[in-house]
Amino acid sequence: MSKLLFVAILSLLLWNCSTPVPENAVDTAKLPTIFPENYQTTIPYNIAPINFKVNEDADNIFVSIEGKSGKLENTFSENKTDWAIKDWSAFLEGNKGDSIRFTVYTSKNDSWKKFKSFRYFVSPDPVDDYLFYRLITPGYQTWNKMGLYQRQLSTFEESTILDNKIMPHSCMNCHTLAANNPDNMVFHIRENKSGTFIIKDGKVEKLVSKKETPFKSVSFPYWHPSAKYIAFSINKVRQVFPSEGTERAHAFDMGSDMVIYDVDKEEYFTSPLLYADDAFESFPCFSPDGRSLYFITAPAAPMPHELRNIQYSLCRIDFDPETALLGEKVDTLITPKITGKSLTMPRISPDGKHIVMTFSDYGNFPAYNEEADLYMYNIQDSSITRLDVINSDQVESYHSWSSNGKWLVFSSRRMDGLFMNSYFAHIDENGNFSQPFLLPQQDPDFHKSFLFSFNLPEFSIKPVPVSAQQIEKVAKQSAGDKQKFDTTH
């Protein structure tokens, strides 16, 4: 079937599925007040329906979406949309690479009002099929109800990777995939049955360091693109909870270093340049070509006394994946003297051109810093751009790239200042981001009753290849493989 014939048939079907536009509607000449507030944004063609609620006193609403392939329109009871996934997906498929126009009508006592139209651009760049995240209460003080989950982004289907119902009294964190592929995945379990777990080739392994190593556990992993190595930081994370004022909490490092794990040899190694007593090194990140290791560092300081004064720089060191040798010098790329800020969580785009980071006034855990914003570093010309189009007056923190480098997902408290939620933004060929949009939910009132934060969002091209029960079995039965450690590698 030719593309032209497909579009014609699709247009006919959409027209036939439409319902009559309300007659004699009074034109308000203003935009409708909706939630989520997406009036002009870019969405992938393979995203689930972006339902919204119209904040009007209405008996029902009528919404018409027009595009080059025709119309998708329907009348909804109450005041919120609930598009059928099949109809929505077909409509977006027929409008890839073009804008679609939304027009909202509301009815009260059989009297209709028409609102000003708004547009989305349907990008031909697909988003990865899945989003992995941790659901946790916003205080981050307890973990009796939490877990790791995976959401299919073309639908509203969510499934469990691992949670407290399966592993009671355990904290699951730091889930990271190799090149957005869960065939190589690492995460941690703390407290009950603790350890670092690697998913590789459809199997789960639990790793525990030897007692004589200078560390008990590792954190904040990042895979090498070859999936042969994993960079970790070793952190002594603590939290403080102020008894007065508006600040809820602060997280900080009492000390940190970095190591690399050789997956095949089953051993850790590092360099004195990454394992220094006079510096806090953390949040490693390999370049897409595998020959550079980026990380953040700050001069060691007594904590928490110096919490508000400590600021981190961005650095890099050479890495030879063939010999597993680290370079002999560290390049400092961005310092607080340049920005006046502390940076953390560097994440490199798959094309190796940009690094997105979180900047805040101090520290390296900005989950509670209202001033925390996302910035982008251009590796080619060393320019730094504040990403105002996707920032807000609340916290922006953890972020990750899609496998094609066209989408960024990030965490933000912009909705209410309390709960972290996941937002998506498209980046074009010139490095410009679109207005972000919230992770779609079938019911726009979802967030009124949902009492968990979406923590550490990571794109994935497919679901986890092992079950929660397989992970549980390894966690409960295996003591872990003892690992070698070499500080002079």
pLDDT at 266: 85
Q: Name which of 166, 164, 104, 93 is nearest 134 in CA terms.
A: 164
pLDDT at 415: 95
pLDDT in tens, 174-232: 899 999 999 999 998 888 888 899 998 888 988 755 445 566 678 899 999 999 999 99
Q: Which two tokens stand for residue 275?
A: 């394992």
Q: Which two tokens stand for residue 182?
A: 């869960």
Question: Do residue 150 and residue 77 come from a single domain?
Answer: no
Question: Do residue 234 and residue 341 come from a single domain?
Answer: yes
Q: What is the CATH number of the domain that holds 458?
A: 2.120.10.30
C-beta separation of 89 from 46 below 8 A? yes
pLDDT at 488: 47
pLDDT at 183: 95
Angle at 467 between CA 165 and CA 399, to 5 degrees: 80
Q: What is the CATH number of the domain that holds 33?
A: 2.60.40.10
* Statement: residue 131 has pLDDT above 90: yes
Residue numbers of the domain that contains 48: 3-123
* Statement: residue 298 has pLDDT above 90: yes
Per the listing, tokens 């998708």 go with 72
Residue 487 located in a structural domain: no
Confidence band, pLDDT 50/70/90 cuts, at residue 7: very low
Residue 45 located in a structural domain: yes
Residue 484 located in a structural domain: no
Q: How far is Cα 92 from Cα 47, in angstroms, rounded to an integer?
A: 9
Question: Do residue 356 and residue 221 come from a single domain?
Answer: yes
Residue at which a domain ends, from 94, 123, 152: 123
Question: Do residue 222 and residue 318 come from a single domain?
Answer: yes
| Burial category of 348 from C-beta neighbours within 10 Å (exposed 0-12, middle 13-18, buried 19 and up) | buried
Alpha helices (runs of H) in 236-358, residue ranges in sequence order = 336-339
Share of the chain above pLDDT 70, in %: 90
Residues 6+ apart with CB under 8 A from 190: 143, 170, 171, 172, 173, 217
| Type and span of the H or E element at 332 | strand 325-334
Residue 483 located in a structural domain: no
* Statement: residue 483 has pLDDT above 70: no
What does pLDDT average to over the chain?
89
Question: Do residue 103 and residue 135 come from a single domain?
Answer: no
pLDDT in tens, 423-482: 999 999 999 999 999 999 999 999 999 999 999 999 999 999 999 999 989 988 766 554
Residue 488 located in a structural domain: no
C-beta separation of 263 from 279 below 8 A? no
Question: What's the helix, strand, coil split of the chain in %, to 5?
Answer: 10, 45, 45
Residue at which a domain ends, from 101, 123, 145: 123
Question: Do residue 135 and residue 67 come from a single domain?
Answer: no
pLDDT at 354: 97
pLDDT at 384: 97
Residues 6+ apart with CB under 8 A from 270: 257, 258, 259, 260, 326, 486, 487, 489
* Statement: residue 15 has pLDDT above 60: no
Question: Do residue 105 and residue 144 come from a single domain?
Answer: no
Question: Do residue 91 and residue 154 come from a single domain?
Answer: no
Residue 482 located in a structural domain: no
The region of weakest confidence among 216-220, 295-299, 401-405, 416-420 is 216-220
Residue 416 located in a structural domain: yes
| Choice between 69 and 95, residue whose per-residue pLDDT is larger | 95
Residues 6+ apart with CB under 8 A from 197: 186, 187, 188, 189, 204, 205, 206, 207, 471, 474, 475
Q: How far is Cα 42 from Cα 426, in angstroms, rounded to an integer?
A: 6
Residue 489 located in a structural domain: no
* Statement: residue 8 has pLDDT above 80: no
Name the domain count of the chain. Answer: 2
Question: Do residue 152 and residue 288 come from a single domain?
Answer: yes
Question: Do residue 52 and residue 139 come from a single domain?
Answer: no
Q: What is the mean pLDDT of residues 48-56?
A: 96
Q: What is the mean pLDDT of residues 255-270?
A: 91
Question: Do residue 197 and residue 246 come from a single domain?
Answer: yes
Question: Do residue 308 and residue 439 come from a single domain?
Answer: yes
Q: Is the model's pTM score more than 0.95? A: no
Q: Name which of 434, 413, 414 is nearest 424 in CA terms.
A: 434
Per-position b or e across 294-306, b if 16+ CB within 10 A of its CB: bbbbbebeebbee
The region of weakest confidence among 72-86, 137-151, 224-238, 305-319 is 137-151
pLDDT at 218: 87
What is the phi/psi pair of residue 20, to 5°?
A: -60, 140
Residue at which a domain ends, from 83, 108, 123: 123
